[in-house]
Chain A
Amino acid sequence: MSLILVLPVVVPLATAILCFALRTSRWGRWVSLGGTLLHAAAAFALVAIVSDGTVIAAQMGNWAAPFGITLVADALGAAMVAVTAVTAIATAVYALGDIDAERERLGYHALFQVLIAGVSGAFLTGDIFNLYVWFEVMLIASFGLMTLGARPEQIDGGIRYVTLNLVSTILFLMGVGLLYGMTGTLNMADLSIAVASLEARGPLSVVAVMFILAFGIKSAVFPLFFWLPASYHTPAFAVSALFAGLLTKVGVYALVRMFTLVFDLDTGFTHEILLWVALLTMLTGVLGAAAQSDFRKILSFHIVSQIGYMVLGLALFTPLAIAGAVFYILHHILVKANLFLVAGVAGRLCGSTELARMGGLYRSAPLLAALFLVPAFSLAGFPPLSGFWAKFLIVKASLDIHAWLAATVALVTGILTVFSMTKIWGAAFWTPHPEGLSPEPARLGAGARAALILPIAFLASLTLFIGLVPQPLLGFAEMAGAQLLDPADYIRAVLGDLP
């Protein structure tokens, strides 16, 4: 049991070492892909174990919780690792056609694997300080990936990214310190019990706000999202797809985890804050998207806006809403990563990702056009795609508790998402290329074409499948939501049977 919990962290780290050793060899990329597949095998084994509702835990170094560090997998944690694995496979294959030898030589694959390890560690840890450590691992690996190649705009974006995220790191650390000061523990299951017996509920809510700030920066919510649109359009396409899928969602995951397990005693205060944050995030994000004129910048602002939906699910705090938030996160990772992958192909074919310098893809690359429409309409919440169910759950959860404003904002954001998405479709696909170019996919060469298009098709088919057969994922999300709202199983798995 404990091995399977460690593997999603250890496999990518071991692969990273191998990739570092092989960074000048052309085998590095295949080792990286192999490691990614092994990571996925471990991740899905984990999902299989928890799919009947069990929660498993492993005590690192055999020091019993809460004294050592515990790794835990419940439905949410396992699902997050699995969706990380899917995204990793897609981007690893894509990288075969996107990452040049120069970037490989600089250590692309090692950084990529460390990032996967950090993300997986964050999803599996049951210790709040250990979560902080994984955040740092992610931050430094993502900074390396973002600036790899060192073009001026990359350095520029990288500095914005790392500076603002360091603020989050400091806040997170201070929050952990204050929480430890109040409860004397770092283990999250133990925290859950400790806070319940706490006499000082008010100060706990103040600490909760500090966590909202720290994770809010990480998840790029209003008004803390500056770093994301300032940096996501700069790195290599495979990298931005990986970031778009995963990074902010780790922040959202941490919010969901902490605000169901630990900070669930004063929801009238904390979750009300989250609600307003969510609504403003949805609107400002989508309006920001509408204002952009670069393929990747529009998509970057969409991330912000979509984070709002997930936080809204958490803020509403009903079983349906939490299940909706979980469903939303999982769906969004697949769709958003895919859109950035499409942006990469489109940008390569047209020679730019600036909409004014793109065009003609509908005529010359019909397959790409179709593959864009699937995640694009899914993101906007159109049926029969995964995003429809995600939106349906959130809107229904809002209406069920008469949160009329929340439902309205969710729906209005939906139509504005369509509006901003058609900006891309109109300019890059429908409008002829401004210089009369015909952006032929044939120019890419067969190998690169397969490496770039296959992952896109794979993710799009997942989106379509979830849309047509939503019940399996929805059932899983409902189970995850139920576990989050009643963490008894989680606590028992970590701390054993309590007296």
Chain B
Amino acid sequence: MSPASTTGAPADEARRPSPLAEAAAAWLPVALAAGLFAWFAALLPAVSGGAVLRPTLEWVPSLGIRASLLIDGLSLTFALLITGIGALVLLYSRTYLAGHPHYPRFALFLTAFMLSMLGLVLADDLVLLFVFWELTTITSYLLIGFDHAAAKSRRSALQALLLTGAGGLAFLAGVIIIGTATGTYSLAEILGAEVPLREHPWYLAILILVLAGAFTKSAQFPFHFWLPNAMAAPTPVSAYLHSATMVKAGVYLLARLHPTLGGTEVWFWTLTVAGGFTAVLASLLSVRQTDLKLSLAYTTVMALGTLTLLLGQQGAYAMTAFATFLVAHSLYKASLFLVVGCIDHETGTREAEILGGLARAMPVTALAAALAGLSMAGFPPLLGFIGKELAYAAAVEYSARPYLVGGALLGANVLMVVVAGIVALRPFWRPAPAPLPRTPHEAPWTMLAGPVLLALGGLAFGIFPGLLQGAVVNPTVLGFVGPDTTPAILRLWAGFNAAFVLSLVTFAVGIALYLVHVRLRGLIAAAEARLPDFDTGWDRLMEGLLRFAIWQAQAIQTGRLRTYIAATFGVVAAALAFALLMRGRWPEPAALGAVGWLQLAPVALILAGSAVAALTASRIAALAGLGATGIGVAIVFILWGAPDVAITQLLVETLTVVLMAVAMLRLPHLAADRRPGHGLLALATGTAVGGALLMVLGTPMDRRLSDFFEAASYPDAHGRNIVNVILVDFRALDTFGEIVVVAVAALSALALLRAARTSSGRRAP
């Protein structure tokens, strides 16, 4: 992404941050990252001596969650990579995005990301680890979508968020189950437990959930497609998030849990097959790209596959290979991404077929590119070579399935040679095929420091592997194989063995393929066109989800009140019928008492009133029917000895009918509208409610309250009318509340009328 295209509209220019904010955004994050790097480097001697630091703070004691850290070889290695590369990337981006109006925001997100990632690898508590895990998801969402006006960026950001977010939720379930299974969330305690998780009855569930988290985050097949799309982010972000750090979070998690989850058949097969397949597929797709950045993106997926593959194995060799390749990859990949950023920044393009002849104009960049590229291709004397040798050795000599593991590694490594040629050498050393969009210059030192230092790191560690061995590799390996094994030795010349033969084959085939890489690219492109495309599959999934959502929303939320009422009463009738069937009890006829003709008279009145209300097309007639129902109810009260309630009922009923009749006179006539469905629904609801009522009437009545009211009404409350005393004394709060209701109803009605009057007054002229 060239900075020119990320610059916002002219309106932004006026809103440039103040110079002070700009300077702070430029230098504070760099200083912070560098300071942290120095601090972690100072911990190296102690940690490589075998010390494990576990600072602990209570956090959520009720859930047994602590804010505790675990600093051992593995986490310190990651911490050094995160802060070291972070410092260089931050230094780089201030020039790369110089003048961008949102640079302070960018620096904030990137720094927040760095700290989240740091928290992730340092956390001892799995819940704390998960918190940082999700924070990396959020910050990377903001970073991938940094060029927010472009639809492509937004789509890529969302894709990454949803995929890694979904995996994250699975991982959360895994964390909770691990916590329940082991009784702790502390990694140190889980790893130190006598019984490893692989012997727990829930092992398979835990493994699946953890792998779902790790594979989505680390872009393993079939979740590999989001990572190349994430390249919509500015190049420094790609260099950082998508090579050195975030995508390695999944790998870190697998490495961390390797001692307790690994070593089973299902672990071996899942990681080996997924990792190996991802590595080979990604390296093929990498050769297929002509955009240098995209090409690198796929090599990252390849590296993640290789790391996963190595973690599928057991033993010191595989783990040493893992640690070495981890460091080697971080160094060369970050360097190469930054180099591509320089090329893009200086020439205005990153198309492999346009670029050429840059070595003359950009010699320092060319040197960094060459060193990093040779390390990626696995040539001596670079660290990549040692990593590759160790991986081959682990595969051929120590793996349970040497052909499978070795074959996958060989295929991927051969193609890495090809990609290294395309990305790191060809743009610099071949003659320029055509004039470039811009005349290239060397980038400023701030942009060169990163790629050069990282590339030199790969060289230094290649020539003096002992440095890395003692400080980083041994403590890392011991972190997950236990102190009784010895890590393999890192060296450039390990003798003429199977691994070396494989290396020679890799070079030979790789160089041969490089020479025909344009034709190879055509072949892969043709094959790719015939295979299912996961990225469009993703779009289909999203569209399908949306279509389903809209379909169900429209089915439920029709917008018609009539449907809502019908559905509500339908649910009421069905639920009550269900409850009556499951739990109802038919009352003994004796409990209900005998029913005489006198009692049936009001029943007839009520039924007739309801029938009229339901069947008539005239509002007034319906109202009269309802009024008759009310009178029927009043008669019921009289018959059962509550004359004052009956009087109230009659008054209310009469008043309601009169008032509503007055209102209805002004309404238009109803069209004749008979809906048998609604009639049945009403009947069903009434029957269900009636059934519930009968059932309750069949149970004995407790008259404690009535007895008390009768007894206390006169002597204590000084009232002869019990109903009145209940209303104004025993339950005065209810009456008070109802008065509020009436008052507010009046207020609301008044407000409605007044608003209606003013708005119609406004509309009239």
Contacts and interface: CB of A to CB of B under 8 A. Distances in A.
A181 B697 contact: yes
Contact of B60 (A61, A429, A470): A470
Contacts of A266: 583
B509 interface: no
- Scoring A110, A199, A203 by chain B CB atoms within 10 A of each residue's CB, the highest score goes to A203
Interface in A24-68: 60-61, 63, 66-68
Given A114-B744, A363-B12, A430-B154, A287 B162 contact: no
A288 B556 contact: yes
A418 interface: yes
Given A213-B571, A284-B552, A418 B557 contact: no
Contact of A382 (B134, B568, B693): B134
A159 B703 CA distance: 40
B158 to A, nearest CB: 5
Interface stretch (A142-150, A241-249, A336-344): A142-150
Nearest to A162: B748
B52 interface: no
B170 A411 contact: yes
B489 interface: no
Given A67-B709, A137-B740, A164-B565, A200 B585 contact: yes
B47 interface: no
A205 B703 contact: no
Interface in A214-272: 217, 223-224, 226-227, 229-230, 266, 269
A184 B173 contact: no
A287 B552 contact: yes
B235 to A, nearest CB: 20
A265 to B, nearest CB: 11
B5 interface: no
A130 interface: yes
A269 B180 contact: no
B532 interface: no
Contacts of A422: 158, 161
A387 to B, nearest CB: 11
A67 B705 contact: yes
B68 to A, nearest CB: 15
Contact of B549 (A110, A178, A227, A288): A288
Given A202-B585, A396-B176, A209 B576 contact: yes
A383 B61 CA distance: 17
A290 B549 CA distance: 6
A475 B557 CA distance: 39
A207 B62 contact: no
Given A287-B553, A399-B173, A184 B162 contact: no
Interface string B694-738: 011111011111101100100000000000000001111110011
B568 A217 contact: yes
Nearest to B695: A203
A134 B703 CA distance: 26
A20 B571 contact: no
Contacts of B730: 61, 63, 67-69
B557 A288 contact: yes
B693 A418 contact: no
A106 B755 contact: yes
B733 A181 contact: no
B740 A13 contact: yes
B689 interface: yes
Nearest to A13: B740
B515 interface: no
Contacts of A495: none
B46 interface: no
B567 A226 contact: yes
A474 interface: yes
Contacts of B706: 184
B564 interface: yes
Looking at chain B, what size class is its interface with the partner chain?
35 or more
B59 interface: yes
Interface string A410-443: 0110110011001000100111100000100000
B697 to A, nearest CB: 7
B404 interface: no
B582 interface: yes
Contacts of B758: 102
A206 interface: yes
A484 interface: no
Interface secondary structure of B, over-half rule: helix
A231 to B, nearest CB: 11
A4 interface: no
Contacts of A150: 751-752, 755-756, 759
A21 interface: no
A407 interface: yes
A164 B747 contact: no
B744 A203 contact: no
Contacts of B179: 396
Given A167-B568, A227-B564, A430-B148, A141 B584 contact: no
Contact of B702 (A151, A194, A203, A407): A194
A183 interface: yes
Contact of B169 (A182, A224, A411): A411
A485 interface: no
Given A227-B564, A362-B148, A149 B755 contact: yes
B692 interface: yes
A198 B567 CA distance: 34
B148 A411 contact: no
Given A111-B748, A230-B559, A432-B149, A291 B583 contact: no
A414 B702 contact: no
A325 to B, nearest CB: 15
Contacts of A202: 583-585
Given A111-B748, A202-B583, A395-B172, A388 B131 contact: yes
B748 A143 contact: yes
A414 B740 contact: no
B40 interface: no
A212 interface: yes
A421 to B, nearest CB: 10
A474 B62 contact: yes
A175 B697 CA distance: 13
Contacts of B643: none
A133 B59 contact: no
A470 B130 CA distance: 16
Nearest to B151: A431
A438 B11 contact: yes
Contacts of A400: 180
A400 B177 CA distance: 8
Contact of A163 (B165, B550, B565, B731): B565
Nearest to B748: A144
Contacts of A171: 572
Nearest 4 Cβ contacts at the A-B interface: A184-B702, A144-B748, A150-B755, A291-B553
7 contacts: A60-B733, A129-B731, A144-B745, A164-B561, A167-B568, A200-B699, A471-B61
Given A114-B740, A208-B579, A290-B549, 5 more contacts: A66-B704, A66-B705, A144-B745, A206-B576, A399-B173
Interface of A: 13, 20, 60-61, 63, 66-69, 102, 106-107, 110-111, 114, 117-118, 121, 129-130, 133-134, 136-137, 140-141, 143-144, 147-151, 155, 159-160, 163-164, 167, 171, 174, 178, 181-186, 194, 198-203, 205-210, 212-213, 217, 223-224, 226-227, 229-230, 266, 269, 284, 287-288, 290-292, 301, 362-364, 366, 377, 382-384, 388-389, 392-393, 395-396, 399-400, 407, 411-412, 414-415, 418-419, 422, 426, 429-432, 438, 470-471, 474-475, 478
Interface of B: 8-9, 11-12, 59-63, 102, 105, 127, 130-131, 134-135, 137-138, 145, 148-149, 151, 154, 158, 161-162, 165-166, 169-170, 172-173, 176-177, 179-180, 545-546, 548-550, 552-554, 556-557, 559, 561, 564-565, 567-569, 571-572, 575-576, 578-580, 582-585, 689, 692-693, 695-699, 701-706, 708-709, 712, 729-734, 737-738, 740-741, 744-745, 747-748, 750-752, 754-756, 758-759
